[in-house]
Chain A
Amino acid sequence: MQVVRLRVNGDERACGVPAHYTLLETLRYGLGLTGSKQGCDKGDCGACTVILDGRAVLSCLTLAREAEGRELRTVEGLAIGTEPHPVQDQFDLAGAAQCGFCTPGILCSSVALLERNPSPSREEVRAALAGNLCRCTGYEKIYDAVEAAARKMGQ
């Protein structure tokens, strides 16, 4: 057991977890932040994607310790109060989340993309999401949602 201190979604949190725990395990099982999903636990699916210092990273390949002292955002931290993040809202409008299991990771990849590139082309969106597998949608509605969110945020 070790104590891990994380700054997650603006909160300072601490919890005791086994030393080998990944960031994903710490979030889900240590802090009860179950929004981030585990689809493979080995870096293949992207369901566990979170935003660490502005970059989309796979929390199942990140040790909890590595996230200490850094700014961490998960799907639970994207909305502002009761107002969903524009990407979340557009995902809902466009039908971009079917089963929704890939969605938290895809949202984090999308938000990280839009924060560094506010009006990406479709090719740029496709490239940014290449590490997030979605088995339900065929991706079309996801691109539509990200592009619509970019337009909204640019307004």
Chain B
Amino acid sequence: MIRPAAGGAAQAPEALSVVGRRMRKVDGLAKATGRARYTDDIALPGMLHGKILRSPHPHARILAIDTSRAAALEGVHAVVTGRDMPTTYGIIPWTPDEHPLCVDRVRYVGDGVAAVAAVDEDTANAALELVEVAYEELPAYLDPHDAIAAADGPFIHEPRKPGRNGNVTKVVKLAFGDVEAGIAAAREEGGVVVEGDYFFEGTTHTPIEPHCAIGLADASGKLTVWSATQVPHYLHRELARVLELDPAMVRVVQPPVGGAFGGKSEPFDLEFCVAKLSMITGRPVKILYTREEVFYSHRGRHPFHMRYRTGARADGVLAAVDAEIVMDGGAYASFGLVTTYYSGQLLTAPYQMPAYRFHSTRAYTNKPACGPKRGHGSVQPRFAFEVQLDRIAEALEIDPIELRRRNALGEGTRTVNDLRVTSNGFLECLAMVEDASAWRRKFRRLPYGRGVGVAGSTYISGTNYPVYPNDMPQSAVQLQVDRSGRVAVFSGASEIGQGVDSMVAYVVAEELGVPLDHVRVFAGDTDFTPVDLGAYSSRVTFMLGNACIDAARRVKRQVQKVVAEAWDAKPQEVLLAGGLAVRAGDTGTQMPIREAFNLAEAAFGALGATGSYDTPKDVHGSYRGATIGASPAYSFTAHVAEVEVDPETGFVDVVQIWIAHDCGRALNPVLVEGQMEGSAYMGFAEAIMEEQIFKTADQGRAGLHNAPSLLDYRIPTSLDTPALRSLIVESIDPEGPYGAKEAGEGPLHPSIPAIANAIYDAVGVRMNALPFSPPRVWRALQAEAARTPAARSAATPAAVS
């Protein structure tokens, strides 16, 4: 197994023949020709179609469910309710607060109460109409502050310990250094203390593929579930536990996933329902969510109410940071325990903080549960904090890029909360966006209405610990070599569009010297791949990449040994590259790689190896909670955004975003750029357009999603999306595979504050609440105009032209 340091083995770029090139993906053509088979593309013989009945109430007791009329409908094969699957589950083992279908209480509009399997979708829908549920409505909480204030109940969940507030899912209070002394020092020594309240409206993932699952229980007692999931291993565990099956009798298959972004990273009701309905009927059962159901299943970004106090000395160096956060968790815990820690723990880079304190509280509310969305838990604080930095820069009359430079954390260090930081290319990121955007010519120099803004950020390359405690590796592959020269890699990792299957092929081709198209990657099937924990927390390239290196090098050593013997050379003189084994310094001595494999097979027997990776355990402090947020390596990002604001309408046109991201090493720059652009796009979307809102009681239907469609929940089209310019920075991490770190989530963070800061540069208003929609911006402009006569004249269209 690769333990840290042994792993990455940073290599000089000239020594690499595959890694670092602009390459195709292993599944690119399958996707471009319509041949890739997603879950809903699978049709099994005799397959039934399932549907889930959902609660119309935000909070109610279930008094009775009568399924008899539904069950009697022609074409209906089975009906199940919560009582058929009474075991609770939750992605975090300490907070199992969900049932596959509600047993006695519904907690949001859309909570599942019954499921049917029928010959076709129309019949299944008709059957749902015949299920009769008697509810007793309960008071609903839509605001986390109200839920927290109701310390004596009524509670959305029964408290886990008597006397606790059942509406609070998690409280984290951590302090590092003396915050009050830092704030006082900043005040006394000519520095500045900036205070601000910020609100981040929740947003959701909206992958273009809706969730889909198929269950098949066969006569031998084996259950197979195909699902569009990011976490086949965790799904495997929970299916076995909830359905009371031996995990060895459960198989999870994960076909290519049509986008996820965190929205498919825990078990969902449909997976349990297809399994149970198939166990009852003995027939395959498929459930495909409607787009509306995707909005209800949610697990997207939590709404955060944030208050920050940030002190800096006269030279702009940070003195103290103090944060108070209330998080709206929705109806279930989901990953909330982790989110609550991340809300504070991930803010401590890329800037040095001598003192830092955060107090985060996650409340239950009667809305769809929030969870992890790309940049889990840290996108909201990053928005607030980077706006705070902009305000400090302005108060101290320091250029905001220069301010960030002065506070840069550096490499090979520890953060104030004791996270170990290895490589760090943040300063280079700042320099690149500064140059590429022509910052110096633009900042505070553009005409009214036009502006630029900057922001920085950091993100983890995987979490140090799995969601359930164990000492086994976090990532593993199994590799097998055929006499033809073909190398098969069995990978537990989940391809969700990020390109992990391709990454596996690049690494193995690099190590074994085989052509890329001689590597076959088999993935996403718990029956024949080793465990990988899943596609979340940007863990896969770092961890699985190292596991691939581990496996490939085991085979490579065998091949080098036998070929060296044949040539009377030293093993390290045998190079594998370009389809050949070649003697170093003597290119005349060579043999086709297939022959080299055959020699090795003759000497050692069937050729293959496993490889795995586990995280180093000395990368965090020892206080309670220190492990959450710890990662073997951190990526760094800086953005500059340029905007044009129409003061008459409040419409913000984001013209361009320059994205510089330190990904350690770009194993395939095409894919890294794709992640950077996709991330910046998604951040832009949250900044300007996306809004997850629910109706209030006054609006007639408390807790009803206001816009559960891709038309009403607005996500950017090609015409909305700004020009995105990606600039790759490679800091070559000592432990990453060839030096690589994450690229899939970090580059989302700075989009939002960079746009907020650019709006300020353009029109002089601070946007403290998301999204920066025309009404919000217009109102902020009006308020500013009322406050200052100067702003008033500047805000008139005459002054703009």
A110 CA / B724 CA spacing, docked (Å): 21
A148 within 8 A of partner (CB): no
CB-based contact B256/A140 at 8 Å: no
Residues of A within 8 Å of B642, CB to CB, are none
Could you say which residues of chain B place their CB within 8 Å of the CB of A136?
A: 259, 497, 674, 678
- B281 CB within 8 Å of chain A: no
**Chain B, interface SS category:** loop
B711 on interface, CB distance cutoff 8 Å: yes
Is A137 touching B674 in the complex (CB atoms < 8 A)? yes
B670 contacts across to A, CB distance below 8 A: 94-95, 141
B73 interfacial contact with A, CB 8 Å? no
C-alpha gap A148/B639 in the complex (Å): 28
User: A42 near B257 (CB under 8 angstroms)?
Assistant: no
Q: Is the CB of B258 within 8 A of A101?
A: yes
B715 in the interface, Cβ–Cβ < 8 Å?
yes
Residue on A nearest B207 in the bound complex, by CB:
A135
- B32 contacts A138, CB within 8 Å? no
Report the minimum CB–CB distance from A95 to chain B (whole Å): 4
Quick check: B719 and A93 within 8 Å, CB to CB?
A: no
Which residues, 5 to 55 on A, are CB-close (under 8 Å) to B? 18, 28-29, 32-45, 47
Tell me how far the C-beta of A87 lies from the nearest C-beta in chain B, rounded to whole angstroms: 8
Residues B674 and A141 in contact, CB atoms below 8 Å apart: yes
Contact B711 A135 (CB under 8 A): no
User: With A42-B291, A100-B256, A127-B719 in contact, do A76 and B43 touch (Cβ < 8 Å)?
Assistant: no
User: Which residues of the partner chain A approach B710 to less than 8 Å between Cβ atoms?
Assistant: 39-40, 44-45, 133
Beta-carbon contacts of A121-147 to B below 8 Å, as 1s and 0s? 000011101111111111111110000
Q: Are A138 and B37 in contact (CB under 8 A)?
A: no
Name the residue of chain A whose CB is nearest to the CB of B288.
Answer: A38
Known: A34-B37, A39-B210, A47-B208. A100 touches B32 (CB 8 A): yes
- Shortest Cβ distance from residue A38 to the other chain B in the assembled complex, whole angstroms: 7
Nearest neighbor of A20 in chain B, beta-carbon distance: B122
A138 to B678, CA, bound (A): 5
Q: What is the size category of the interface that chain B forms with chain A?
A: 35 or more
Contact A34 B41 (CB under 8 A): yes
Q: Are A36 and B34 in contact (CB under 8 A)?
A: yes
A74 to B27 Cα, complex, angstroms: 19
- Do B715 and A95 touch across chains, with their CB atoms under 8 A apart? no
A63 in the interface, Cβ–Cβ < 8 Å? no
Q: Which of B24, B259, B498, B677 contacts A101 (CB 8 A)?
A: B259
What is the total of A-B residue contacts with beta carbons within 8 Å?
175
Min distance, Cβ A59 to any Cβ of chain B, angstroms:
13
CB contact under 8 A between A98 and B34, given known A42-B709, A126-B718: no
Closest residue on chain A to residue B672 by CB atoms: A95
Could you give, for residues 320-348 of chain B, a 1 whenever the CB lies within 8 Å of some chain A CB and a 0 otherwise? 00000000000000000000000000000
The reply to whether B711 and A44 form a contact with Cβ atoms under 8 Å apart is yes
User: Do A138 and B724 touch (CB < 8 A)?
Assistant: yes
B261 within 8 A of A: yes
Identity of the chain B residue whose Cβ is nearest the Cβ of A33 in the assembled complex: B34
| Residue from B43, B207, B208, B679 having most chain A Cβ neighbours under 10 A | B208
Q: For the complex, what is the distance from the CA of A136 to the CA of B723, rounded to whole Å?
A: 15
User: Residues of A contacting B256 with CB < 8 Å?
Assistant: 99-100
Is B541 close to A, CB under 8 A? no
- A153 CB, nearest partner CB in chain B, Å: 16
Q: A3 at the A/B interface (Cβ < 8 Å)?
A: no
| A35 (CB) vs chain B CBs: closest residue | B34
Is B44 on the interface with A (CB-CB < 8 A)? no
The residues of A that contact B257 with a CB separation of less than 8 Å are 99
**A102 interface hit (Cβ, 8 Å):** yes
**List of B residues within 8 angstroms of A89 by Cβ:** 29, 32
0/1 per residue, B25-42, Cβ < 8 Å to A?
Answer: 101111111111110110
**In the complex the two chains form, is A84's CB within 8 Å of B29's CB?**
yes
Instruction: For the complex formed, measure the closest distance between the CB of A152 and the CB atoms of chain B, giving whole angstroms.
Output: 14
Q: Are A135 and B499 in contact (CB under 8 A)?
A: no
A136 to B206, CA, bound (A): 10
A92 at the interface (CB under 8 A from B): yes
B30 / chain A contacts, CB cutoff of 8 Å: 100
Q: Check A41/B34 contact, CB under 8 A, given A93-B24, A101-B259.
A: no
Contacts of A44 in B (CB 8 A): 291, 709-711
A39 partner, pick from B29, B32, B209, B260, beta carbons under 8 A:
B209
Let me know if B719 and A130 touch, CB within 8 A: yes
Contact of A92 among B28, B711, B719 (CB under 8 A): B28
Q: What is the distance, in angstroms, from B682's C-beta to the closest C-beta of chain A?
A: 8
By the criterion CB–CB under 8 Å, are B719 and A126 in contact? yes
Q: Is B773 positioned at the interface, with any CB of A under 8 Å from its CB?
A: no
- CB contacts (< 8 Å) of B40 on chain A: these are 28, 34, 38
Pair B208/A97 contact, Cβ less than 8 Å: no
Is there a chain B Cβ closer than 8 Å to A78's Cβ? yes
Mark each residue of chain B from 288 to 314: 1 if its CB lies under 8 Å from any CB of chain A, else 0: 101100000000000000000000000
Question: Which B residue's beta carbon lies closest to that of A90?
Answer: B32
Which one of B36, B711, B721 lies within 8 Å of A139 (CB-CB)? Answer: B721
User: How far is it, in angstroms, between the C-alpha of A33 and the C-alpha of B498 when the chains are bound?
Assistant: 25
In contact, A88 and B33 (Cβ under 8 angstroms): yes
Please tell me if the beta carbons of A99 and B497 are within 8 angstroms of each other in the complex: yes
Closest to B685 in A: A135
How far is the CB of A144 from the nearest CB of chain B, in Å?
A: 10
Contacts of A132 in B (CB 8 A): 717-718
B209 pairs with A101, CB closer than 8 A: yes
Cβ–Cβ contact B290 & A76, under 8 A: no
Residues of B within 8 A of A47 (CB): 208
State how many angstroms separate the Cβ of B476 from the closest Cβ of chain A: 24
CB nearest to B41 among chain A residues: A34
Complex CA distance for A125 and B719, rounded to whole angstroms? 10
In the complex, what residues of B have CB within 8 A of residue A94's CB?
670
Chain B residue with the shortest CB-CB distance to A131: B717
B232 CB to nearest chain A CB (Å): 16
Which B residue's beta carbon lies closest to that of A43?
A: B711
When the two chains form their complex, are residues A95 and B674 in contact, meaning their CB atoms are under 8 A apart?
yes
A91-B32, A141-B677 known; A99-B718 Cβ under 8 A:
no
Q: Are B715 and A135 in contact (CB under 8 A)?
A: yes
Query: In whole angstroms, how far apart are the Cα atoms of A127 and B35 in the complex?
Result: 27
Instruction: Answer whether residue B496 sits at the interface, using C-beta atoms and an 8 A cutoff.
Output: yes
Return the contact of A137 from the options B261, B677, B717 (Cβ within 8 A). B677
In the assembly, what is the distance between CA of A88 and CA of B29, in Å?
7
- Complex CA–CA separation, A100 to B27 (angstroms): 9
Does B677 lie within 8 Å of A99, measured CB to CB? no
Decide: B25 and A99 in contact? CB cutoff 8 A: no
Asked if B681 is an interface residue, CB under 8 A from chain A, the answer is: yes
Partner of A99, one of B43, B208, B680: B208
A76 to chain B, nearest CB (A): 5
Question: Do residues B29 and A133 form an inter-chain contact, with CB atoms below 8 A?
Answer: no
User: Could you give 27 example pairs across A and B, Cβ below 8 Å?
Assistant: A34-B41, A40-B709, A41-B291, A42-B709, A43-B711, A44-B711, A74-B34, A75-B34, A76-B34, A84-B33, A92-B32, A94-B670, A98-B259, A98-B678, A99-B257, A99-B258, A99-B259, A99-B497, A101-B497, A103-B31, A129-B718, A130-B717, A132-B718, A136-B497, A138-B678, A139-B718, A141-B673
Other A-B pairs, 18, CB within 8 Å; known A126-B719, A140-B723: A28-B40, A34-B34, A34-B40, A38-B40, A41-B290, A44-B710, A44-B711, A88-B29, A88-B32, A89-B29, A95-B674, A98-B497, A101-B497, A129-B718, A133-B717, A136-B497, A136-B678, A137-B681
B interface with A by C-beta (< 8 Å): 24-25, 27-38, 40-41, 43, 122, 205-210, 256-261, 288, 290-291, 496-499, 670-671, 673-674, 677-682, 709-711, 715, 717-719, 721, 723-724
Task: Rank and list the top 5 A-B pairs by shortest CB-CB distance, nearest first.
Answer: A35-B34, A99-B497, A101-B258, A100-B31, A138-B681
